[in-house]
Chains A and B, each alone.
Chain A
Amino acid sequence: AQKITQTQPGMFVQEKEAVTLDCTYDTSDPSYGLFWYKQPSSGEMIFLIYQGSYDQQNATEGRYSLNFQKARKSANLVISASQLGDSAMYFCAMREGLGNTDKLIFGTGTRLQVFP
């Protein structure tokens, strides 16, 4: 079974608009962490935001926020005020367990294209 599911292979958004990238996860472990990474066309993996399973509030980092709905097992990334430079692949990932090995499981990604 897929541990991380990103159902949107591609998304389009107009510059300055907000966009939500979906991510659902599957785990029976009560301790886990959720990550979002950005991969621009140049290929590097850039960490964006993290949410822990015990965090009470949704994580925010500048224009990025994580809409964490624990009961639904979803961890959607919200990008506010999109910019042309936001065009990239976005990956959701999960770390299971107590973090002793810190392994990440990735989704298949969503390609975001921002148009003027």
Chain B
Amino acid sequence: DAGITQSPRHKVTETGTPVTLRCHQTENHRYMYWYRQDPGHGLRLIHYSYGVKDTDKGEVSDGYSVSRSKTEDFLLTLESATSSQTSVYFCAISGAGGPMGSYNEQFFGPGTRLTVL
């Protein structure tokens, strides 16, 4: 199994407070991703990183920011949490983009359940 952890695993916070979720990997994988999972929506990409200090927006990036200062860590920050950000957050990693037709499995972390009251 890929070495990927998320912290905290559970968090309850209040509307308007800042929240930071951490994803840590020991696999030296280049790509890292943050998804959120909500009923009826499956998993949706928030932000991703393709290297240290290289990040880009995903499908549902509003209200979120990310940082990656080291290969192993990818942080997701909610600057001012809202109730609509109550969700389960998954981090994922993969090795690299490959040539045409190749693939790289994305390994997922255990998830963080965030509740914003």
Contact = CB atoms under 8 A, between A and B. Distances in A.
Interface string A86-116: 0000010101001111111111110000000
Interface residues of B, number: 33
Interface stretch (A11-19, A51-59, A72-80): A51-59
A26 to B, nearest CB: 15
Contacts, number: 77
Interface of A: 4, 31, 33, 35, 37, 43-45, 47, 50, 52-55, 91, 93, 95, 98-109
Given A99-B102, A99-B103, A91 B42 contact: yes
A31 B101 contact: yes
Chain A interface secondary structure, helix, strand, loop or mixed?
loop
Interface string B36-76: 00001111110010100000101100000000000000000
Nearest to B58: A103
Interface centre among B42, B98, B99 (most CB of A within 10 A): B42
